[in-house]
Each structure stands twice: as C-alpha cells, then as structure tokens.
Amino acid sequence: DDTEAEADETFTVRLLDTPEPVEATGTITDNDHPPDEDSSPEEDRPSDEDSTPPEPFGFTKTVQDQAYTAQTAIPPLVLPAAAGGTPPLTYRLAGLPAGLTFDKATRTIAGTPAEATDGPRAVAYMATDHNGADDALIFTIMVNPELNFGEVFQSGTAVPTTAPR
C-alpha cells in the first residue's frame, strides 16, 4: 500500500526484435497523496460507488410519425428526453415543415403548419451530452392540404323545411 507522495517517473520501452528498432517514452504520474489526518487509508480510497460506469447515453423512447393539416394549429408535441450521459444535455431538431417551431428547453414542437408537404417529411431529433456523446431519433411529419369546403357552405338563401309528421 503506497500512500507516500513521490515524484513522477519516466520510462522508455525499446523493441529491438523488429525490422526497424522502435522506441517509446512515457511518464508514470504518482497520484498517491498522504492520508488526511482525520482519515484512515481505507477512507481515503475511492469507493466502489465512485467507480460505477455512467449509464449509456441515448433515447429509450421513440416518436410516432405525425400527420397534421395545413393552416390548422397543432397540439403541442413534447419529445422524449434522452437518458444517461453527462449533463447538461442539449437538444436540436432538423427538418420541421414551415410554420412549426421547436423549443429546445421544453423539447416541444408547436405552431401552425403553413402549407402541405409532398408526402411525409423526415425530421431528425438529436441530443448531445456535455462530453459530446449524441443520439438521434428520426420520425416523419406529413402536412395534408388545408381543409376547403368550397361551395358547400356558400352564402345564399336559407329555405325552411319541415319534417313530415
């Protein structure tokens, strides 16, 4: 058990049994430090809890494909949070149809689609943690043409009718 602080040490490795000799040099850094006066060496060591690897980073839920109608406000759609990783997490979205917005703080898509799309449009929802780990979900949004009842509800004269008895 080495608890004495020591100077860093340099080492050299030479491989001579190769077509050309190879040499590498490295440094061993001594991370030992004397224990605190109020602690024993066992208390000064990292616990098993400290060495638990972090939870893998990524999405654990999916997003269903969406279909909306042009010129009709959509109900807010909250996208799933990523799990694991090192905070803070950042979110971004690419491929939204015109008229829809994404609030990265609340992970919410909202708005009113401006116009119909030519079929489903792929949308990429991405998350990145503090260490640069990232994950993405791909889903589609289709915006159907605006509802138009044309001449069905044209102005005109109302004709009262009575139901037969």
How many domains would you assign to the chain? 1
What CATH number did the domain enclosing 118 receive?
2.60.40.10
Residue 58 lies in a domain: no
Residue 52 lies in a domain: no
Q: Residue 85 and residue 52: Cα distance in Å, rounded?
A: 13
Domain that holds residue 84: 66-144
Residue 17 lies in a domain: no
- pLDDT by residue (tens digit) across 5-46? 667 666 565 556 555 665 555 556 555 555 555 555 554 445
Q: Residue 38 and residue 3: Cα distance in Å, rounded?
A: 15
* pTM higher than the cut 0.75: no
Residue 40 lies in a domain: no
Residue 6 lies in a domain: no
- Per-residue pLDDT in tens (0 to 9) along the chain, 165 residues: 556 666 766 656 555 655 566 555 555 655 555 555 555 555 444 555 556 666 799 999 999 999 999 999 999 999 999 999 999 999 999 999 999 999 999 999 999 999 999 999 999 999 999 999 999 999 999 999 998 876 665 666 666 777 666
Residue 80 lies in a domain: yes
List of E strands, 29-156: 66-69, 77-78, 90-94, 100-103, 108-111, 121-128, 134-144
